Amino acid sequence: MAEGRRSKESSASVSHSRDRDGERSNCTIGRSEDAHTYSLLNHVFNKTSQLSSEAGASSLQKPPTLQNLETFIEKSLEDSIEGTADCEEPMSESCHYGKIGGLEVMFDILSNVGTLIVEPDRLGLSSLSNFSTMRANCCVFKGKWIYELWLGSKGVMQLGWCTLNCKFSQEEGVGDTADSYAYDGSRLRKWNVKTQRYGEQWLTGDVISCAMDCDNGTVTFYSCTYPIEGYKPLQDPCVNELAKAKVLFSYLEKLLPVLIEDEKVISLNVIGGKPEEILPPLTENRGHRCTGLLLASHIYEHLGPLLKSAYVIEACLLKYISEIVDYNNLHSDQPYVCQLLDLSWTLLQDFEIKSFMENLVICLLSAYRFSPVTSDFTHADEEIPPEEKNSPEELEKKKKYFASCEKLRTKIEEIEEIQVEILKILLIHNDLNEKNETTRVIFLEKFRSFLRENSGVSRVQQVHSCPLAVNLCFYHRLVQAVRYYWDKFRQEDPNRFVHSKDAFMPVQEFWSDSREYFDFQRCGGLMSHLNRILGGEVNKAQGLVVYDDGKDIKVKSVEPSQEYPDTELPSGNSLIDLLDGLVILYHSAAHKQLGKMVALRDNMRDFILALQDTQEKYDKCPEEMCEVKEDLLKAKEVFLEKITEQARHMGWVISVIYSRVQTFIFDLDYRLTLFVVFNVFDAIIQSKQEDVCWILNVVLKTVEKASRYRRLLQFMPEFYIETCVNAYNALKNFIHPTTPFESLDGHEDLLRRYATFLTNHFADSKIVSNDLRDSLVQALACFTCYPNTLHILETLPMQNRETMIRALIAPYENRSWAHTNWILVRLWKGCGFGFRYRYLPNLVPSKVQPTEFSFVSLQKPCPSQILQSLLAKILLDDEPTATRFLDTLMNQLNWSFSEFVGIMQEIQILVSRTEHLYIESRQLKICAACFEISVCLLRVLEMVVTIAPDLFTDYCRSSAELFLKRIMQLLSQVLSRITTKNGAFENLSPLPIPGLDSVTYYPILTVAVGILVQLIGRSGGTSQERATRALLTDAGFMIKSLEFVFDEERSSKFSKPFSFKRFEEISSEEIQDVESLIVYLKKHENIMSKQAQEIKEEDLCTICYANIRTAIFVPCNHQSCRTCITQQLMNKKECFFCKSIITSVTDTKNRPILREHFMTSKKSS
C-alpha cells in the first residue's frame, strides 16, 4: 500500500515539473525542447536501439519528449515483456500442475525444529543446535521438480525431501524418518531411516541440486546447477522483472557518460575561475546536469521497485557494474560506479535504498564467502602414492598447490584492502549530522552492540553470533584502521597522545561508571563493591574532595594526591573506546579462532602419523595375509581422504585468514600433505603476527600503568589480564615456526615485560578471582619450561625474583598449590636423583603421556641454579617463612600420598573380585593425580634438602629436629607402601589399567631414595649422624625396602624385576651412592640395636617409645623425648599427661631448651 501511494505522488510531481518546463521551452526556441534536451532524449531513449527493437517496439510510437517520457518508458517496458513472451514458451497452467504453494518459494519458519538463524529473505539459514530442521513453503505431487541449495559450510547436513506426515525432532531430521529421503555429502551417505554410502564429498560453496521424479518415484542429487533436462524449478524465474531491468539499465548505460562529462566541465569551470557559467540565471534554459538528473529520475521511478529484488541485483546490476568497472585501474576513483551509486542514493526512496544496499552487499559478499575451491584444488583429489622424497611428480603437486593458494590469496588481498578502506570511512570523525553525531559515533554504537552479542558472557543466548573466522578477519582489519587514525590524531595533539605502538587504556576509564563491560567481571569484584570501598581513593587520584556540609554533598577540586601519578591520555576520546573494543574482540573471538586453526594443524599431524604408521605396517605385512593387507589399504584410503579434505581447509586458512605470505620453507618428509602441515600453515603473514603482538603490548602497558595506582588496579576488567596470557600464548604457540616469536622487533623487551607481569600478579591479592590467578600460575609454569624464558626470569631485578620465590613458598591459602609446587619442580628438574628425563622411561612421548600441565611438561629439563640459590638464601635467612613452607609441604604430601594409597586399595578390591566390575574413570584420574602430586612434592623436598640441608640437620634451629623426624617418617611410609610384597602397588602397577600408566616404581622410588642419599650418603659429621638416627629409630623403616631397588629376582606375574640398574636415566655414580647407603645403614642398624639393648625400658619416651627421655616440662616435671615435646609445642603448650600449662622446657641437666616456643608468650605478657 505504501509503495502504491508513493508512485502516484511521484508521478504527479514529475508531471507538474514537465508542464512548466514545456511552457518555458516554447517561449524560447519554438519547439517543445531545447537543443540539448532534444539531443539527450534521442541519445538515451532512441526507439531504434537494440533492446527496443528486440522487444518489438512499435514504429508508431512517438519520439520521446519530456511531456511523453513517462508514457514512452512504460510502453518500452511493456514491449520488453511482450518480446520475452515471444522468445520463450508461455507458462501455461499445466506447467504449474503438480506443485502446491506460493509463487515465491522460501523457508517456512513455522515448520522450524531446533534453533536456526533465518535470513530476512527466508532463503538462507544456519543451525545453532545439534540437529535442526526446516521445510520449504511448497510441495509437489506430480511431475519432475528440482531445487538448489548453496552450501555455506561443509559440515554435517542432510538435504532432501519429506512429506507432511514427517514429525521431526532434535534427534530425527530429514532422512531419519520413513517418509523422508536425504543426502549428506560430509559423511557421504544417503538416508531413509537406514543409511548407505552415496555421492561425493561436498565443500563450502558447492551448489547441490535436489531432484524428485514423482511419476517414477525417484530422488536424485546433483553437484551441478540448473537446468537439468526434464526437471522444472520449484520457483519460476522472474523473467518480466529481469526484462524491464535490462531496458532501464540500457538507458542508464547511455546516460552515465553524459553526466560524467557534465561534471568534468563543471570542475574545469571552477578551476578556471568562471563561476557565472555554473549557475545560469533562472530565466534561461536548464543546465545540462539538471536535464540529465531529470531524465535519470524518470528511469529510477521504474527501476527503484525492481532494485528491491535480489534476483535483479544479481542478474542485472552486478553484471552492469562489472561492465563499467575500469579493471586496468582498480585503485582509481571508478567514476562510472560512483556516478551510479550517487544517482541511486539521490533518487531512490529510503525504503528502496535499504533493500537495494542490503541485497547489493549480500551479493558481493556471497561471491567471496561461498566461492568453491574444487577447481583450484583438483590435484588434491588424486591419490598420492608413497614416492621418493622430492620426486618430480611430488614437486609438481607442490607447485600446483602453491599456485592454487597464490591465486586465492591474490583475490583476498584485494578484498582486504577494500575492507580496511571501508573501515577508515566508517571511522571518519568530522562529519556531524543533524543529530550531532559523526560516522565514528554511529559505528561505535553498532560496534558495542556487536561486541555484546559476540562476547559469550551474556546470560541470554544470542542467536545472531558472528562466525569466529569472520571475527578474526574483522579484528585484523580494524587494528589497521584504528592505528591509522591513532597516529593521525597524535600528529594533531602530540603533547597528550602517544604513538600507536605505545597505545594503552588509561586507568581513569576503568573506574568510570559510563563505560559498560557487559557481564565481564572486574579484577576486584563487582563495580558496586569497588565504588563503595575505593570511592575515596578514586577521588584522591583525580584530585577531588567530597564533603557533606549537612545540606548538600559538594565536590571540590584540589591538588592531586602525591600517592598516585597523574592521569594520562585524554578521557572520552573515541579512539580510546575503539581500543577498548579491540581488546574485547580479541579476547572473545579472535583468540578462539587462532586456537581452532592450531587444532586443525594438530589434527592433520595426527592423521599423517596414523597414515605413516599404516604404511609401515602395510610394507611389513606378509603377502599371504591378504585380508590384513586389504584392511590396511582401506585404512590408508580413509586417512588419505581425511588428510586431503583438511589440506583443502588449510589452503583456505592460509589464503583467507593469512593472506600475505612472505616465504615458504621447502621441506617435505613424506608427501604433499606433510608439507602443508609443517610448513605451509606456519608461513603466516608477518603483519598478522604484529597485530597480535600489538594487542599484547597494549594490554601489558595498560596493566603496567594501572599497577602504579596500587589498589585501583581492581577496577580493571579481568579480560585484560586474560588477554595478556592469551596473546602471548598465541604468539608463542599458534604462529610458529616460519614467523617465530623471536623474529619480532623488540621481542626480548616484550618477554621481560611479560615476565615482570607474571611475577607481579600471579599471587596478587588485588585479583580476587581464583580462576584468574590459577591461569596466571599456569602461564608462569609454562614460562619456566624453556631455557630462553627461564633466562629472562633469572635476569629480572632482584626484587622481582625475590617476590616471585616468596610467593611460591607462601602457605597455600585460596590458590592453586599444585601448580605453584610444579613451578618449583621445574626449577629443580635436571638436578635430582634420576630426574633428567623428559618423559617417564616406561612411556613413549605421545598422547598417553599423563600430565596435567600439557605439552610443556615434556620439554627438555632446564634447571635454574640462580633461582635455587635465591630460594636457599630465603629459607635459611627467614626461619618463620621456612617453617611455614616446610610444614605446609609435608602436610600436603601426607594428604596426597594417603589419598593415593586409599584409592589403590579400593581398586585392588574391585580387581580381585571374580565378577566383572566397572572402575570409574574419575576414580582412576584422582588416583593418578594424587600419585603425580606426591612425586612432585617429594621432588621439592629433595631440592630443599640439597640446597638447604641445615633446615633439617642444624639443631640450633627450633624446628630442625622435628622436620627431620617428619621427613623420615614420610619416607619410611612411602618406601613401605610401595615395596610391600603382594601389596596394592605391586599388584596394580603392572596391569594395563587406562589412566594409571604413570603409576610406576621409577618416579616415586628415585625421589625417595634421592632424599635419603642427600641427607645421609652425601653429608657427614653430626648432620649424617642425626639423619641416620632419625631414620633408623623410625618404627616404619626397614632396610629391605631400600634393597628392593636392586632386587633382580623379585618379579610379579605381569612385570619384570625392578632395579635401578636397568634404567639409563640413573647414572653409575648414583647407583654407587645407593649401594653405599645400604651398606652404611646396615652397619649402623647393628650398632644401634646393640645400644638399644643396653637402654632400660623406663628411660624410653612413653609417647613414641623410640627415643630416650631428654626433656623435662616446667612446672609439672613430666618428661618425654625432645621430638615429641617439640611437635606438641607447635600446636599447644600443655603437658601430655596432666594437661597443665608448660612455661618452659629443660634438659636432664636443668638447662633451658626450646626457648623460641615461649618467647612470643613472654612478649605478649
- The string of pLDDT tens digits covering residues 62-107 is 677 878 888 888 888 888 887 665 555 544 455 568 888 877 888 8
Q: Quote the pLDDT of residue 659.
A: 47
Encoded amino acid at 762, one letter: F
Contact indicator for 925, 916 with CB cutoff of 8 Å: no
At 983, is the pLDDT very low, low, confident or very high (cuts 50, 70, 90)?
confident
At 993, is the pLDDT very low, low, confident or very high (cuts 50, 70, 90)?
confident
From the CA atom positions of the chain, what is the Rg in Å?
41
More confident residue, 905 or 671: 905
Give the Å distances, CA to CA, from 693 to 117, 731, 774, 817.
35, 7, 23, 31
pTM, to two decimals: 0.73
Residue 1116 has pLDDT above 50, yes or no: yes
Q: Quote the pLDDT of residue 1091.
A: 65
Q: Quote the pLDDT of residue 484.
A: 92
At 1038, is the pLDDT very low, low, confident or very high (cuts 50, 70, 90)?
confident
Mean pLDDT on 100-127: 83
Residue 180 has pLDDT above 70, yes or no: yes
Statement to judge: residues 1058 and 987 lie in one domain: yes
Residue 1139 has pLDDT above 80, yes or no: yes
Contact indicator for 452, 518 with CB cutoff of 8 Å: yes
Residue 256, domain member (yes or no) = yes
Statement to judge: residues 79 and 124 lie in one domain: no
Q: Quote the pLDDT of residue 1154.
A: 76
Residue 844, domain member (yes or no) = no
At 1156, is the pLDDT very low, low, confident or very high (cuts 50, 70, 90)?
low
371-385, 420-434, 1085-1099: range with lowest mean pLDDT: 371-385
Statement to judge: residues 58 and 99 lie in one domain: no
At 464, is the pLDDT very low, low, confident or very high (cuts 50, 70, 90)?
low
Nearest to 358 by CA among 125, 121, 127: 121
Statement to judge: residues 451 and 330 lie in one domain: no
Give the C-alpha separation, 90 to 106, whole Å.
24
Give the C-alpha separation, 221 to 148, whole Å.
10
Q: Quote the pLDDT of residue 268.
A: 53
CATH number at residue 1146: 3.30.40
At 23, is the pLDDT very low, low, confident or very high (cuts 50, 70, 90)?
very low
Mean pLDDT on 880-893: 88
Q: Give me 82's grid cell.
A: 511482450
Residue 969, domain member (yes or no) = yes
Q: Quote the pLDDT of residue 51.
A: 42
Q: Is residue 235 helix, strand or coil?
A: coil
Q: Quote the pLDDT of residue 436.
A: 81
Statement to judge: residues 396 and 346 lie in one domain: no
Residue 1145 has pLDDT above 90, yes or no: no
Residue 555 has pLDDT above 70, yes or no: no
φ and ψ at 1023, to 5 degrees?
-60, -45
Residue 1034 has pLDDT above 50, yes or no: yes
The domain boundary, picked from 198, 233, 268, lies at 233
- The string of pLDDT tens digits covering residues 716-728 is 898 999 999 999 9
Give the C-alpha separation, 961 to 1031, whole Å.
12
More confident residue, 397 or 697: 697
Q: Quote the pLDDT of residue 997.
A: 80
Mean pLDDT on 732-737: 70
162-176, 439-453, 461-475: range with lowest mean pLDDT: 461-475
Residue 773, domain member (yes or no) = no
CATH number at residue 198: 2.60.120.920
Statement to judge: residues 105 and 42 lie in one domain: no
Mean pLDDT on 678-698: 67
Give the C-alpha separation, 1092 to 737, whole Å.
67
Nearest to 429 by CA among 476, 489, 385: 489
Residue 33 has pLDDT above 80, yes or no: no
Q: Quote the pLDDT of residue 1051.
A: 54
88-92, 426-430, 535-539: range with lowest mean pLDDT: 88-92
Statement to judge: residues 309 and 414 lie in one domain: no
Residue 38 has pLDDT above 90, yes or no: no
Nearest to 965 by CA among 1103, 1148, 1159: 1103
Other C-beta atoms closer than 10 Å to the C-beta of 84 total 18
Nearest to 154 by CA among 609, 642, 608: 642
More confident residue, 1080 or 281: 1080
Statement to judge: residues 102 and 51 lie in one domain: no
Give the C-alpha separation, 1067 to 1061, whole Å.
9
Residue 798, domain member (yes or no) = no
At 30, is the pLDDT very low, low, confident or very high (cuts 50, 70, 90)?
very low
Containing domain of residue 182, as a range?
95-233
- The string of pLDDT tens digits covering residues 433-446 is 777 888 899 999 99
Residue 756 has pLDDT above 90, yes or no: yes
- The string of pLDDT tens digits covering residues 589-645 is 888 888 887 777 778 888 888 888 888 888 888 888 888 888 888 888 888 888 887
Statement to judge: residues 441 and 518 lie in one domain: yes
Residue 874, domain member (yes or no) = yes
More confident residue, 1095 or 140: 140
Contact indicator for 1158, 1143 with CB cutoff of 8 Å: yes
The domain boundary, picked from 721, 744, 767, lies at 744
- The string of pLDDT tens digits covering residues 258-317 is 888 877 666 555 444 444 444 445 445 667 778 888 888 888 888 888 888 888 888 888
CA end-to-end span of the chain, whole Å?
95
Statement to judge: residues 250 and 221 lie in one domain: no
Mean pLDDT on 1125-1137: 81
Q: For the stretch 617-644, what's the b/e string if a residue is b when 16 or more beta carbons lie within 10 angstroms of its beta carbon?
A: ebeeeeeeeeeeeeebeebbeebbebbb
Give the Å distances, CA to CA, from 839 to 610, 844, 928, 1004, 1068.
22, 7, 15, 14, 20
Q: Give me 463's grid cell.
A: 542467536
Residue 1115 has pLDDT above 80, yes or no: yes
The domain boundary, picked from 200, 233, 266, lies at 233
What are the beta bridge partners of residue 1141?
1134
At 1056, is the pLDDT very low, low, confident or very high (cuts 50, 70, 90)?
low
More confident residue, 258 or 562: 258
- The string of pLDDT tens digits covering residues 794-845 is 999 999 999 999 988 887 654 556 677 888 888 888 888 888 876 665 554 4
Percent of the chain's residues with pLDDT above 70? 79
Write the DSSP symbol of residue 316.
I
| CB-neighbour burial class of residue 915 (10 A; exposed 0-12, middle 13-18, buried 19+) | exposed
At 16, is the pLDDT very low, low, confident or very high (cuts 50, 70, 90)?
very low
Sheet holding 1119-1120, edge to edge: 1119-1120, 1111-1114, 1144-1146, 1152-1153
Residue 375, domain member (yes or no) = no
Number of domains in the chain: 5
Residue 424, domain member (yes or no) = yes
At 354, is the pLDDT very low, low, confident or very high (cuts 50, 70, 90)?
confident
Statement to judge: residues 63 and 135 lie in one domain: no
- The string of pLDDT tens digits covering residues 937-953 is 999 999 999 999 999 88
Statement to judge: residues 351 and 215 lie in one domain: no
